[in-house]
Amino acid sequence: MVTWGGIADDFTGATDLAGNWVARGLRTVVTLGVPDAADRAAFAAADAVVVALKSRTAPAGTAVGESLAALEALRGLGVEHVYQKYCSTFDSTATGNIGPVADALMAALGTELAVVVPSFPATGRTVYRGHLFVGDRLLSDSSMRHHPLTPMTRSDLPGLLGPQTAHRVAAIPLPVLRAGADRLRDELDRLRRPNDPVLVVVDAVDEEDLAVIARATAAHPLVTGGSGLALGLPPAAPAHEAMPVEQGHPLILAGSASTATRAQIAHARQAGTPARKLDIDDLRADLGAAVARLVDEVTAHWVEATDAPFLIHAVENAEDIRRETPQGARPAGELVEEALAECARRLTAAGARRLIVAGGETSGSVVQALGVRRLELGPPLAPGVSWAHGVAGDGRAYNLALKSGNFGATDILTEGWRALG
Ligand SMILES: Nc1ncnc2c1ncn2[C@@H]1O[C@H](COP(=O)(O)OP(=O)(O)OP(=O)(O)O)[C@@H](O)[C@H]1O
Ligand SMILES: O=C(O)[C@@H](O)C(=O)CO
């Protein structure tokens, strides 16, 4: 029986949440886009289903529409609890869609209260006195301050959420939940008022805090947050033993420009991983020809070394993303996404079956290019990153690890393969 339903605003976020549920013993399936009734049989053995959307930077109306469609599909599966998954760094703008989606899900589920819990301590995201920290820095002092699409220039969650929601926003500080789940439940009840919905930011700095929140909200139809709150469920044996492992060439596609990904690329190159950086001028001049040259290079490498991964990446240093787009030319980001999607299509046709993909947007384009619509979760490579298995419409099967830009240790691109066994 499907108990939990997740609605994630990007593909890496979806596998992040799914991986945490798997770690708590829930058999979890990710569906890439809203499933239709014909897909229902695929979820028969699942305890949890996550619908992966590509809505993080979509206009609020679009994100609300897609999220409500996802909710409808999840209700059709009989889910009891819904988890709105957004980024653990609360990626959004004042006109962002985290608030509007939460408002709409609350209305559809007939609930007047939902918690807001971006905290994910295993990846350094914690919330204290309503402020979101990344490691030992406030969010607004972290590299997220300079994010090209969702620059996070403040850290107080009520202040970030307020302009996005029509509802009241309240906050519960750490000492309340450190007094236990009953005390937190009482405080949540105190904040609940008829016909006056409220979003409640709850502090959490470690996994025990998340466990308290999970216990206090166990009967809630809706929770919202990063994936950390899923780890608040009671410990259990991980439910990933059934994931098939595919034989075939390994490939790394990194469109992410995040600080962590850049360090991971540098490490992989230093460790001798054969690699090629996309040349934006070449892509602009003739994308098809540039990709064809790359495909020839990668396939020649595989003739020599079948099992050695090849890395194709977009960015090496911060200057790469600061380059101006010439007047009338296609933006670099668009070229990168199209080129990586085309590399994925052509290199899987040439035998790539195991892929690490870095970046949320990049993962969306790559998985769509492969035509994979569902992923079953396997073992983790890092907190928030897991191997998954998916079968495309053409029958080809893949192992995919979709890595959020800022997740993973420096050596994840060279060592992450070991988790496949
Ligand atoms: N040289 C470049 N110039 C401009 N944009 C680029 C360049 N290289 C990559 N990009 C774009 O930057 C975006 C990176 O977004 P993506 O979501 O894939 O990674 P991220 O933001 O690091 O990760 P996440 O969303 O998981 O935190 C992509 O749309 C990609 O096309
Ligand atoms: O929550 C996170 O940080 C990630 O799952 C993510 O959403 C980054 O794209």
C-alpha 139/C-alpha 365 separation (Å) is: 27
C-alpha 111/C-alpha 220 separation (Å) is: 8
The pLDDT tens digits of the residues spanning 124-143 come to 999 999 999 999 999 999 98
Q: Which residue has the tokens 């609300």?
A: 64
Residue 270 in tokens = 């230093």
Task: Read off the DSSP letter of residue 80.
Answer: S
Q: How distant is the alpha carbon of residue 167 from its chain centre?
A: 26
CB atoms within 10 A of CB 58: 18
**Residue whose CA lies nearest to ligand 2 atom number 5:** 13
Among candidate residues 404, 407, 399, 405, the one with its CA nearest the CA of residue 379: 399
324 Cα–ligand 1 center, Å: 15
Cβ 336 under 6 angstroms from ligand 1:
yes
* 175 found inside a domain: yes
12 Cα–ligand 2 center, Å: 6
Ligand 2 test: best mutation among 88, 132, 256, most atoms within 8 Å of CB? 88
Amino acid, res. 35: P
Q: Would you give the end-to-end CA distance of the chain in angstroms?
A: 30
H or E stretch at 127: strand 125-128
Residue 260 in tokens = 């962590």
C-alpha 63/C-alpha 408 separation (Å) is: 28
Ligand 1 test: best mutation among 91, 147, 256, 315, most atoms within 8 Å of CB? 256
The pLDDT tens digits of the residues spanning 13-58 come to 999 999 999 999 999 999 999 998 888 888 999 999 999 999 999 9
H or E stretch at 49: strand 48-52
* 31 found inside a domain: yes
Question: Are 306 and 407 part of one and the same domain?
Answer: yes
* 48 found inside a domain: yes
Among candidate residues 316, 398, 410, the one with its CA nearest the CA of residue 363: 398
Cβ 361 under 6 angstroms from ligand 1:
yes
Band the pLDDT of 240: cuts 50, 70, 90: confident
Q: How many domains does the chain have?
A: 2
The pLDDT tens digits of the residues spanning 297-320 come to 999 999 887 788 999 999 998 788
User: Which of 178, 206, 232 is the last residue before a domain boundary?
Assistant: 232
C-alpha 165/C-alpha 168 separation (Å) is: 8
Cβ 226 under 6 angstroms from ligand 2:
yes
Q: What is the CA radius of gyration of the chain?
A: 21
Question: Are 121 and 217 part of one and the same domain?
Answer: yes
* 117 found inside a domain: yes
Which atom of ligand 1 approaches the CA of 337 most closely?
31
Where residue 33 falls (left for φ over 0; alpha for ψ -120 to 50; beta otherwise) is left
Cβ 227 under 6 angstroms from ligand 2:
yes
Question: Are 220 and 332 part of one and the same domain?
Answer: no
Cβ 8 under 6 angstroms from ligand 1:
no
CB atoms within 10 A of CB 296: 11
Question: Are 174 and 262 part of one and the same domain?
Answer: no
Residue 66: per-residue pLDDT: 98
Question: Are 214 and 347 part of one and the same domain?
Answer: no
User: Which of 167, 200, 232 is the last residue before a domain boundary?
Assistant: 232
In the chain, helix, strand, coil percent, each to 5?
Answer: 40, 25, 35
Question: Are 276 and 190 part of one and the same domain?
Answer: no
10 Å CB burial of residue 384 (0-12, 13-18, 19+) is buried
Contact 220, 184 (CB under 8 A): no
Q: Which ligand does the CA of 320 lie closest to? A: 1
Which atom of ligand 1 approaches the CA of 404 most closely?
26
336 Cα–ligand 1 center, Å: 8
**Residue whose CA lies nearest to ligand 1 atom number 16:** 359
31 Cα–ligand 1 center, Å: 23
Please determine, for the modelled complex, whether the ipTM score is greater than 0.95: yes
Ligand 1 test: best mutation among 227, 362, 402, 412, most atoms within 8 Å of CB? 362
Has residue 379 got a pLDDT over 80?
yes
C-alpha 30/C-alpha 14 separation (Å) is: 7
* 237 found inside a domain: no
Question: Are 216 and 280 part of one and the same domain?
Answer: no
Residue 364: per-residue pLDDT: 94
Among candidate residues 345, 279, 269, 282, the one with its CA nearest the CA of residue 310: 269
142 Cα–ligand 1 center, Å: 17
Q: Which residues pair with 131 in a beta bridge?
A: 128, 156
Q: Which residue range forms the structural domain that includes residue 394?
A: 249-420
* 276 found inside a domain: yes
Has residue 147 got a pLDDT over 90?
no
C-alpha 324/C-alpha 313 separation (Å) is: 19
Ligand 2 test: best mutation among 7, 86, 87, 91, most atoms within 8 Å of CB? 87
Question: Are 263 and 395 part of one and the same domain?
Answer: yes
Contact 389, 420 (CB under 8 A): no
User: Which of 232, 266, 292 is the last residue before a domain boundary?
Assistant: 232
Task: Report the CATH number at residue 263.
Answer: 3.40.980.20
Question: Are 222 and 280 part of one and the same domain?
Answer: no
The pLDDT tens digits of the residues spanning 381-418 come to 999 999 999 999 999 999 999 999 999 999 999 999 99
For 419, half-sphere exposure in the C-beta direction (CA atoms, 13 angstrom radius) is 26
Amino acid, res. 111: T
C-alpha 128/C-alpha 139 separation (Å) is: 12
H or E stretch at 338: helix 332-349
C-alpha 288/C-alpha 339 separation (Å) is: 8
- Judged by DSSP in three states, 114 sits in strand
Band the pLDDT of 182: cuts 50, 70, 90: very high
Question: Are 336 and 222 part of one and the same domain?
Answer: no
Task: Report the CATH number at residue 66.
Answer: 3.40.50.10840
Question: Are 310 and 201 part of one and the same domain?
Answer: no
* 336 found inside a domain: yes
Residue 421: per-residue pLDDT: 82
Cβ 229 under 6 angstroms from ligand 2:
no
C-alpha 21/C-alpha 35 separation (Å) is: 20
289 Cα–ligand 2 center, Å: 34
Question: Are 55 and 178 part of one and the same domain?
Answer: yes
CB atoms within 10 A of CB 160: 27
